[in-house]
Structure formats: C-alpha cells, structure tokens
Chains A and B, each alone.
Chain A
Amino acid sequence: MEELKCYMPKTLKEALEIKAKVDVIPLAGGSDLMVSHKRTMGLTPVFEKPVMIIRNLPELKRIYRNDKGECCIGAGCTSEEIAENTLCPWHLRQAASRMGAIGLRNSATIAGNIANASPKGDTPGPLYLLDARVKLSSVRGDREELVSDFIVKFRQIDLQPDELITEIIVPYSEDDFDYIFWHKVGTRKANAISKITVSQAIKFNKDDTVADYRVSATATGAKTNRSRDVENIIIGKKITPELTEQVIEAFDKVISPRAMPEFRREATRRMIRRFLSESAKRPKGKVIDTYEGYSVTGAPTPRS
C-alpha cells in the first residue's frame, strides 16, 4: 500500500486494514488533534504521521445495551450524542454535557477524550467510577480492557499499533446505586475546562450499611484517581463522621494535584464529606449536589 498523508476509510473494516499496515493517527472529532496540530489562520495543520479520518464511520456511532444489560457506546459517539441518550449512565451524561462548547461537543468523541489521556478529560472520571471498559479492535480481533488500565499515565494509552478503540462498555449505571453525585468545578459555568471534578455513587444494604461506594476525581493527578482500597474503608459499615474522615484522609493520599493543590484537595475533601453525610440521611431523590442552593442558582442543569 502506498503511504498517503491522509486516509479516509468508509467502513470500520477498511479502517482496521489501514491501521494494520500504516502507522496512522486516527482523527474523529478533531477537537484535540486539530487544535494541537494547528498552525496559523488559513494554514493546513501539519501532523507528524499520516492521519486517518474516521469521523463518519457508521459502525462507531451506535449506543445500545448488550445482552448483559451493559451500556455500549460506539467510539465515534460525540459528547452531545451521549449527553442526550438516556441509555447512557447518568454520570457520563453529566460529564459529556459539560464538556467544552456545544459546537465542540457535536464533534468531540468519547474515544478521543479517552485516547487523549489528559488528566483534565471529562469522561474518564465517570468511566473509572463505573468500571467501564474499552473495546480495542484490530484485524487480529477484539480485546477489552478497563479504561483505568488503558490510560497508562499522562498522555499515554495502552493501544497496539494496529488497534482502534471501537466501543466503550459501561457495566454500571445510576440504577445500581441509591445516591449519585457528579460535580465539576470548571474554569467558568459553561464551556469550561475542569479545575476539579468528583464523581461518587453509593448503595446501601437494608441494615444501612454501605453495600457499595465509589469515588473518582479528575484533574487531581497525572490521571484520574480512584481507589477501591479507599472505598473499602466504608463498604460493609454504617456511615459515621469518623469513617467519613478516614475515607477523606485516605483519598487525599491517593490524589496528587500539582497546580492549586490546596484548592483541589480541600474541594475534594468537602465533596466527599458532603456526599457521605447527606446520603447517610437517606434523603428523597437520588442526586446529591454540593449544596442545597445549587439546583436553583441558575447553574447549568444538563439536558436529561
């Protein structure tokens, strides 16, 4: 095959064949790659490797539930498509609906957001929280890997040269929890980059002990932070202020924010404390936010 500067496959099969032979950069939405490779106005971006445009591959645009009831999201689905689709888990829809500008959300894809491996990425927080997996396809076949393993570290992913992210599979949703929490502190109220985002979910047993608790935070380290060990501190026990503080202190050791560390640590502490103490009260409704006033303050309410 003659090496081109840009490939424009029409089908996934064609795309995987190209990927098997040529070291190409897959480009779907363009919201990261076209920006990081831009030159000045009117000039064509320059890429270090050939590019493969996969924006319109129909195979990557589906959202459905598989036979295990897991939510499967095509890699090429945009943030806006995810935000609008109620099949998608609540945490993910929240994150997708608050990612960048609307015009960008209609381009930016979930796979791109994962593959970018930015510590400030919006979707990894919920994906870590819900034990989501990426499906990686190649002419050799498919494999799956936890998103939290797939993102190796800052700007590095576990992708073989011939592989393409084709699907994101999310096994959990809000239905699996009694209370859910997602809060992004952005640089402003919309069209914002995350300063800190915390996702949480909790399920209680009948005796008020915690059946499951999860917390993830983004923009708090080189990659999204989550620790089952920290969550296990409270699982199987009843929420008490003392245990809550133990969770907070343990999670504080997991995160490692470089810029504005005090703010990011303190906001994380407060959001965990808030969620655990509020959910212990077993309020009506499912969503807990940072404070009562929030829902009526005109702060963004993502489309349901």
Chain B
Amino acid sequence: MVACDISKAVRRVDAVSKSEGTIKYVSDYSFDDCLWGRLVRSGIPRGKIKAIHLPDLPEGYRFVTYKDIPEGGHNYLHMIATDWKCFAEDEVRYVGETIGILVGPDRTKVEDLKQKIVIDYEEMTPAVTIDEGLECKGGAFVNSDNIHCRLSLNVGDVDAAFKKAAKIVTETVETGFQEHVYLETNGACCIPEGDHYVVYASAQCPFYIAKSISPLLNLTPDKVIVRQTTTGGAFGGKEHFPDVVCGPLLVAAYVMKKGVKMFFDREEDIENSVKRHPSKVVFKTGLDKDGNIIAMDSTVCYNVGGYLASSFVVLQRGCFHVTGCYSFPNIRSVGLGVATNTFPSCAFRGFGAPQTLFAVETHLCHLAEMQGLDPLEYKRRYFIKQGDTTSTNGKVVERVMIPEMLEQVMKASDYERKAREYKWGSGRGIGISFYNHGGAFTGNGEQAIIKARCQLHKSANGDVEILCSQTEMGQGFHTILPKIAAHVLEIPMEKVIFKDPDTSRVPDSGPTAASRSTMIVGELVEKAANLMKPRYDKEEDFTVETHYEHPEGFPWDQSTFQGYAYLGYGWGVCAVEVEVDPCTAEITTKGIWSSHDCGHLIDERIVHGQVNGGVIQGLGWGSTEVMQNIGGHFKQTSMSDYIIPTSMDFPKQGVYFVENPYQWGPFGAKGMGELVFNGSAAAYIDAVSKAIGKRISSIPLPTEEVMTYMLHGTDLKSELQEVR
C-alpha cells in the first residue's frame, strides 16, 4: 500500500521483532570462537603509572597495552581531535582511563585475573570541577592554562552598549553531568579475517569507528570493517565512545590473532563512559532604563575532562545557541573548554546546545522577575524572526513560527489563567521555555567535511535497497528512510530494504548524529528515489547515487565562526506545571505541553515518540539526574543511584506541532531528535522557581535542593547582582 500522506503513521519495521525479543543486540550473538576481554583502567584521576604488577597469566591469557601496538601504528583514537589515547602510557588523566585489556578464553578466569592486577601510581592532585580546571589546581596539564579549546563570537558592540546601559547585571547558571543510560550498555566484538578486521558494535557511527581505530594498526579505514548491530539506545553516548571500546579490541585481536569480545555491565558503563558536559555560563547583561536588554555578554565554560576529542564542536554549538530564540542588539560570547581530571565529556542529545539554552532561558526569567514581570511577557520582546541576525552574524533563513507555537501551548496549558492565579511562592507554578536546534553539521560542514553519499539499488525482483551509513538506534530511521523511498517510488514499503550498515558495502553518508539523518540523508534518499523512479519499470538491476550539495548563497567561515551556522532550525515551546509539597519539598509535575516545528513530519507517531522521550530526558536532566564527581570518581554508579524518570514521574504530555516545510529537507522535514530535549528543563525550573518563589539557577534539582531553596533561597523579585 502506498501511503497518501507521508506524515500518516505506519508500523515501525522493527517493532514486532523488538517486542518479541527476537532481534539481536551485540551481546545476543555468541561469537563462539572469540576470547573475552576486560578493560583494566586507571583507578586514580591523575598521576603517573609507576608499575603494573600482573599475576601469572596462564597460557592463552594476555594483558595487552600500548606496547602491543605494532610499529607504524598510532596510540590514539581519532575523534575529531586525536589527543585521546587508546591506552594510557605513563600518564593517566582520569579515573577509568584504559591502561590495558586483559583477554583470554574463559570469562570468569579473565575476571579473576583482572582482580589480581595491581597498578602502582605516583598520584597527583586532580582538578575536577570547572573552577578547579580554570585555577589549574595541581598544575596545568593541558596547554599552560588547562584550556582545551576556546572561541569567541561578537555581534554589534557590547562594550559601547554597556557604556550606555542604565544597569549591568551578572548571573551564573550551571548544569551538571548527565549520563546517557541507553538501556543497552556498550559492547563490541572484533574478529580478524584475512587481511582485515571485522568489528560488530552497538554504535551510532560505524565509519567513525573504522576511521578512529584503524591507525592503531597503521591500517587504512577500509581494513576495519564495521557492522553495526541493533543498538539499544545511544543519545550521543555511542557516537564516539564506541571507539574507546573497539580500539583495545582491535589491538587485542591483532595480538591474539583471534576475535575478542567485550560487553560492559551497567556499573562499568556508568563509571567509565562519556557524559554530557557540565557547564557554567556567566552572563553580563546591559539593561536600559526601562529594563530592556541592550547587550548580552556570556562566558560559556564546559567541563571537557581529560581529553578534547569532539568537545570543541560541542562548545561551538553551545556558544552558537547562547542567545536562544532571541534577537539582542549586541552579543558577545566567549567559550572555554576546560580540562579537568574527569572522564572526557562527549556527545549527548543536544550536543552543547541544551546547556546554553537552559542558561539563557533561566537568565531571562530572572531578569523579568526582578522587574516583577512574568518571564513570558519579557521574553516575547526579543523573539527572533526570519531575516534577523544570529549569534554568528548570519541571518535566520526560514520563517520562525514561535508566536503560533506559543499560542498552541498557552491554549492547551491554560497558561494565562494559571500564570495569573498561581502567585509566586504559592506552591504551584507554570513555566514556559523557548528553544531551537540548528539542524545538521555547522555551516558548510556537510559539504566540506562530511560529503555524504547515498545509493539506492534496484534488484531484478523489484526490491530497492537503501545503501547508506545511517543507523537505527531507536529513533525510527529504519522506518523513516524506507518510507521516504517508497513514497517517492510509489512502491510498498516492504519492497524497500534498509539494513544495519556494514562499512564494506555502504557508502559513507556521515554519522547518525547532529539531527542530520532525516534532514540530510533523507533528502539524499528522496533525490535518489526521484532519479530512480523514471528507470524503475524499465531497468532490472541498477544503482543510483546522490551527493550532498550545500545551497548556494549562505556563506560560513569555520575559522572565524561567522556566517550562516545553520540553514534550518527546529523550534520548540514547552510549558510545565508543577506543585510542591510544602512538607517535603517534593515536586509533582501536573502537566507538560509542547509544540515543535520540525518542518513537515515524516511519520507523526515516530516524531511524537521522539518528543515524549526527549522532553522526559530533559526533565530528568533538570530534576533527579544527579551525577557527582568526587575527587575524580563518579559517585552514582548504578541505576539505583543515578535516578532517571520512571513512568510515574511525569504525566502524559500534550504534544503539538506546527506545519512549516523546510525547503531543503525531504518532504519538508527538518531535524528534530535533539531539539525535543533542549527546552523542558528550563520550563520545569521556571515552574518550580515560581512555585517556591525562589530563584533557581542550577540543575539538577533533587528534592533536597528544593528544600534548601525553600529555606535559604533568594526571592524571585530581588535584584540580580550589579556590575560595571
């Protein structure tokens, strides 16, 4: 059956096999002849390795380290930057840094032996927090100042505006670590086959793995074939991190001349995997005599951890989003990626944008409230519109439908009445937030760096196979792409084949990241299907290929970060209503309403599911998801310590959309996977702040913190600190 409207929901192709439990995740394969691997990691946050004492290893067991990397091989993992080592050599920079991999045929024996390995260190004082990193506690270990990376943005003349300002106020907004908690932990297997290696991995980006780990053995990426296995959630946590898992496996497979497999248990995964960057954003905002914003200066600090890896790009996206959905006349932002002795931070849904969006939303609320205004009325003054200048001196290309989305959310949530009736400090509150997310890679990165290619192959039986490197990790891409192809070709979806990618048989269409898959690769598939369509009935067996081409006329300079950072943004408005228990400070969320602009929806139910999941993940980040790092060690190491939402924590959501087709997306679709995460925490904190009548400027916010604010917090109407 050919769907008449591409938005109309279809059954996900993987729904039944996942429900019946027959689909295979990486740990469901037996990989019979393979050895078992266990990583041996640094137990200290900073220091030098003095000695490694191994127990007697029986035959067939081996402890593999950097010394086993063959001549010509490089002991690094290529994750945009190449500073993150596969194996620590003499220095360790964080707890959990891979020192070696112990391999052998019996997994219990491997574990027993692992427990007997003793490592002597010369310990050094770690820097754990952003402030400690900036202070170079224990001495700088990256550059001379512990700054991994920096950038600055400038629109207008902030200093001149500050001179004219009636008042300049400052505020610091902070966010914490967030753990992905994909339900399937990390796991992979690497098997030598002839002159190459085959890697099976739970991963987002198979080509990233091949490119990242092949230099370890001085191989070209095509000699490391990566086959993605069904991936049980990723959220950015399996974008670059699988390289850290697969690198040691590759070296071990080379040394042992045998396959090696490794699956993390939950505790191991939480303690030893990447997290969302903690952030500290310091605003200095100039106001005129009427309280209007005339200039906003921000210093955006992200806790990068021991190695840079992909964090500069995360920081860039953070700075680009620091003005949120607003247009201010003068903007300056400085971004600093701070080196600390914590596990390196990496991609997590939103990729740096959620932190600054939370910061700007929260800061605007406080600017409004100190003037006695409802934040919504204040924020309205600055909504960005088509043609307005962005934080990078580009223009907003598309129509911005925030007013329409706001209307939907206000109506659904009864916002006006509630905002009027729920007095600040009354125990009830309704908050609202505005957010966006630039789709795909920044600027012309899609053309300059990614160079995505995609193929459609038609077989004699009429089946069409989509060949690209995009992965299904839960977001629905195994359904979305065939749906696009089937729709264009006017053939049943069952005739379209789309398998988990194998890097030896698909072209590189780029990573499954950056909310780019539907927007960019979906468009390539739509174009390919259009090329195939006139030939479909005439030819039996043929392939068509499409390449990404960036639209002309939207310049971007990656060296100065000037120009059109994103051609298409997703936009969102979210309202959250809460009640606070006056005895216990427990917050109960009474309602959640959101409206999103993701262009034209490819499948309304899949998009609905993304909204639900992203919003709840954002609410978890803002409320219960406390992840502390004490002296370099993560304190929360299990799913009973690290508190993600259950079905009881938040009520059913009101989900709304506006129709705003995107001219360069398939059927008008835009990226939305990250967008839906970006705003709910700010709406929640706005609501809680109002309910308790106190200013809140950091997350997460577990119950005990709410109590602290209730007892000692600053009144919402009090003035923010003035500076000159």
Contacts and interface: CB of A to CB of B under 8 A. Distances in A.
A44 B703 CA distance: 37
A298 B265 contact: no
B640 interface: yes
Contact of A299 (B582, B588, B703, B704): B588
B583 A270 contact: yes
A260 B107 contact: no
B268 A40 contact: yes
Contacts of B604: none
Mostly, the B contact residues are: loop
A41 B27 CA distance: 10
A263 B108 contact: no
Interface in B449-470: none
Interface string A181-223: 0010101111111011000000000000000000000000000
A300 to B, nearest CB: 6
B258 interface: no
Contacts of B624: 187-188
Interface stretch (B357-365, B533-541, B641-649): B641-649
Contacts of A260: 704
Contacts of B647: 190
Contact of A266 (B581, B649, B707): B707
Contacts of B38: 40
A267 B583 contact: yes
Given A185-B703, A188-B646, A195-B704, A267 B585 contact: yes
Nearest to B185: A41
Contacts, number: 92
Given A191-B646, A291-B583, A297 B263 contact: no
A188 B702 CA distance: 9
Contacts of A293: 427, 579, 581, 588
Nearest to A273: B583
Given A188-B624, A189-B648, A271 B108 contact: no
A266 B711 contact: yes
Q: Output the residue of B27, B265, B649, B704 with the most chain A CB within 10 A.
A: B704
B107 A43 contact: yes
B584 A267 contact: yes
Given A267-B584, A298-B588, 5 more contacts: A183-B584, A189-B649, A270-B584, A290-B581, A290-B582
A271 B584 contact: yes
B159 interface: no
B582 A270 contact: yes
Interface residues of A, number: 34
Interface in B616-645: 624, 640, 643, 645
Interface string B237-268: 00000000000000000000000000101001
A297 B427 CA distance: 13
A297 B588 CA distance: 7
A187 B643 contact: yes
13 contacts: A41-B263, A42-B107, A183-B584, A189-B646, A190-B646, A190-B648, A190-B649, A191-B648, A195-B704, A263-B585, A267-B585, A271-B584, A274-B583
A40 B648 contact: no
B545 interface: no
Contacts of B588: 189, 293-294, 297-299
Nearest to A41: B265
A99 to B, nearest CB: 12
Given A183-B584, A270-B584, A263 B111 contact: no
Nearest to B712: A262
Given A193-B640, A195-B704, A185 B646 contact: no
A266 B712 CA distance: 12
A133 B583 CA distance: 31
B651 interface: yes
Nearest to B266: A41
Contacts of A183: 583-584
B265 A40 contact: yes
Interface in A229-274: 260, 262-264, 266-267, 270-271, 274
A39 interface: yes
Nearest to B645: A188
Contacts of A191: 646, 648
B17 interface: no
A267 B707 CA distance: 8
B586 interface: yes
A262 B584 contact: no
B590 interface: yes
B32 to A, nearest CB: 14
Contacts of B590: 297-298
B712 to A, nearest CB: 9
B648 A185 contact: no
Interface in B588-617: 588, 590
A290 B702 CA distance: 18
B144 interface: no
Given A190-B648, A263-B585, A290-B583, A39 B111 contact: yes
Nearest to B711: A266
A99 B643 CA distance: 15
A37 to B, nearest CB: 13
B560 interface: no
Nearest to B586: A185
Contact of A271 (B27, B583, B648, B702): B583
A190 B646 CA distance: 7
Nearest to A185: B584
A270 B584 CA distance: 7
A44 to B, nearest CB: 7
A300 B588 CA distance: 11
Contact of A263 (B107, B645, B651, B703): B703
Interface string B413-430: 000000000000001000
Nearest to A297: B588
B708 interface: yes
Nearest to B639: A191
Interface string B567-593: 000000000000101111110101000
B688 to A, nearest CB: 14
Interface string A66-101: 000000000000000000000000000000000000
A298 B707 CA distance: 21
Interface string A38-64: 011111100000000000000000000
Contact of A188 (B27, B108, B649, B711): B649
Interface string B29-57: 00000000010000000000000000000
A263 B701 CA distance: 13
